[in-house]
Structure 1
Amino acid sequence: GYTSATMGSRQQDVIRASLELTRLEDRLTALHTQLAYSKEALGEWIGASQAQLSVTESIPPLLLEDVSSGWSETTVESVIRHPSIRATDQLIDVQDIDVDLARQAYKPEWSVFAQYGYRDRAPNGQDRADLFSIGIGFDLPIFTGNRQDRRLSASAARLEAEKTDRVLRIRSLQAKARSALARIERLDDRIDLYQQTLLPQMEEQADASLTAYNNDDGDFAEAVRARISELNAEVELIQMMAERAKTLASFRYLTTEASNIPSFSMTDLQD
């Protein structure tokens, strides 16, 4: 009777183990589907052939570099290199020229002209001197004050609007950069906690549960749950590291000129 009960219990454990394995395989299939979708989305930006390259199992160190000194990169001097700010600076220059042109309308327009005329001989055969004339003229605006004032006011208003937009864009970039940096610091704290404390403890618990089960002193379901919890924690760690890498990329985009970002080819990320 004891032997039969033990064999029945073991058979149930095998069935439960097979069930958990099937669930893990389904989860792996879902992750492969997500990977394929992400590669296709990436191909829109870097080309389909580049997006299909295999990558290493670990995130490149470049995307996990320390950002302890990153707060200094959130100053105005740093974010003004952003493409959107440079584009706004160009618009401000254009509007500044438009204001100058509007002011020029208040001034008279001067003109200088010269004319040379060749004359044939007189009917009696005598030579006649050629003609050369020079003149100076100017157009003096009269009774156009309202029209000129409206044009100058409109040009000045557009210039001030672009300057205000520049200030708001800089503040927005600074806020986004600081938010990204704060998120990276919090992720670093969690990553350190997982690597230094949580994962070692969960591995120890999973090993202890499996040892107890093998010695007929523990429950199979508990051993399986402990191992699955460990795997889930490892997945969460990978997700946090990936999120940190994406957040760092966003931070660099917000604060660093493209030419100053260390470059690396796609081959650096391959196996």
Structure 2
Amino acid sequence: MPDGTPRSDMLTAQVTMDLPFFTANRQDRQLNASLNKLNATQMDRHIHYRDLLQSLNIQYTTWEHLVEREHLYNKQLIPEAKQNAKAALLAYQNTTTELTTVLRAYSSELTIQLEHMQLQVERLKAHATLLYLEGTPT
């Protein structure tokens, strides 16, 4: 009734329905969102690739430097240390030097050999990292 009192013999129903009048706009937004997501994924992939390439270059430079240092140890430092230790021992046997000089020479030789071994370990670590970055199984 118009005065707001309820009626027991009346039933009211309400139905709502969305009509797709402007679907092109909604599809354009979905397409743009998908394209933006694709572009973001491609940019992330490109950035990741660039970072991997930079890491590869850094590791390769490190590995080359370690190879050069190891070559220096093999060709110069180790032979000179051995020669110095032998010369010190010979001088001690001829009583022209003291025992401490011989001990220092052999200690120096062992120190150089230990440094060489540490250098080999670092070179092998760099090589393993290169293989990892390259994607080669070790």
Q: What CA distance in whole angstroms lies between the structure 2 residues aligned with 1:180 and 1:186?
A: 10
1:227-258 per-residue CA deviation (whole Å, 9 max, x = no partner) reads 11111111111111111111111111111344
Q: Match of 1:70?
A: none
Q: Secondary structure at the match of 1:225?
A: helix
Q: Which residue in 1 is equivalent to 2:48? A: 169
1:183 is the counterpart of 2:98? no
| In 2: Cα distance, 1:146 partner to 1:156 partner | 15
Q: Give the letter aligned to residue 142 of structure 1.
A: F
Q: Which residue of the partner structure matches residue 106 of structure 2?
A: 227
Q: Which residue of 100, 121, 126 corresponds with 1:242? A: 121
Per-residue deviation at 1:214? 2.9
Stretches of structure 1 that go unaligned for 5 or more consecutive residues are 1-139, 262-271
- In 2, the alpha carbon distance for the partners of 1:157 and 1:173 equals 24
More helix by share: 2
2:63 is aligned with 1:210: no
Separation (CA, whole Å) in 2 of partners of 1:141 and 1:249: 60
What is the CA RMSD across the aligned residues, in angstroms?
A: 2.2
Distance 1:245 1:231, change over 3 A: same
Q: Deviations over 1:189-224 (max 9, x none)?
A: 111111111111111101111222233211222221
Partner of 2:4: none
Identity of aligned residues (%): 37
The structure whose residues are more often strand, as a share, is 1
Q: Deviations over 1:80-119 (max 9, x none)?
A: xxxxxxxxxxxxxxxxxxxxxxxxxxxxxxxxxxxxxxxx
What are the ranges of 5 or more consecutive residues in structure 2 without an aligned counterpart? 1-18
